[in-house]
Amino acid sequence: EQFFVDFKPEENLKAADLEKVSKDIQKAVSANHPIEVRDLSTLDALDQFNENAFMQHHIEQASEPVKVAVHGDYAAVIDQPLVHNLSKVKHFSLQAVSATNWLRDVNNEALQRVSGFAFADAKALEDHQAFIDKYEQVNHRRLGKELDIFSFSEFAPGMPFYAHNG
């Protein structure tokens, strides 16, 4: 299953950092801590996340009781429980680091997004990775550049300009 996490890092991550992030996630998975879901009142949740404007926004949008997932030292406001233990999704692959904006609004704060895939068993992850690899081989954006079939201009980024052989 695909997942992504948006966050505001102290320093921007690069694709090369994904290996270290993967190791950190693997440590969290190996720790085998349960994910505890707590029901809090809005006031208690706002107090717990008093220094996190992003979480406070979610708390203000949530209905009572506010659900908070706790895994070790980490806590987050959630809509519904996802998994009860990270060992259920220990087969994962981080795919990319990209940029996004808070609430997908360009006027809001810039955030980073890490996306990836997680599966309950290694075979499912392996099959999915094979699918992605095959897709990349036939991806029209890559083939168009390699075969010089079309190009893009910064003046019309969504408009392909076809070459004579395109």
**What is the value of pTM for the model shown?**
0.77
In this structure, the answer to whether residues 131 and 104 fall within a common structural domain is no
Q: Which domain holds residue 125?
A: 121-166
| Residue 134 three-state SS | helix
Identify the residue whose tokens are 């992605």.
132
In this structure, the answer to whether residues 95 and 16 fall within a common structural domain is yes
What mean pLDDT is predicted for residues 47-67?
A: 96
CA dist., res. 135 & res. 18, Å (int):
21
Q: What's the pLDDT band for 36 if we cut at 50, 70, 90?
A: very high
Task: Decide if pLDDT at 90 tops 80.
Answer: yes
Task: With beta carbons less than 8 A apart as the criterion, state whether 152 and 141 touch.
Answer: no
Structure tokens at 111: 């955030």
In this structure, the answer to whether residues 107 and 137 fall within a common structural domain is no
User: What CATH number is given to the structural domain containing 54?
Assistant: 3.30.980.10
Task: With beta carbons less than 8 A apart as the criterion, state whether 144 and 150 touch.
Answer: yes
pLDDT of residue 160: 87
CA dist., res. 98 & res. 13, Å (int):
9
In this structure, the answer to whether residues 112 and 125 fall within a common structural domain is no
In this structure, the answer to whether residues 108 and 32 fall within a common structural domain is yes
Query: What is the tens place of the pLDDT at every residue in 129-162?
Result: 999 999 989 988 888 888 989 888 889 888 988 9
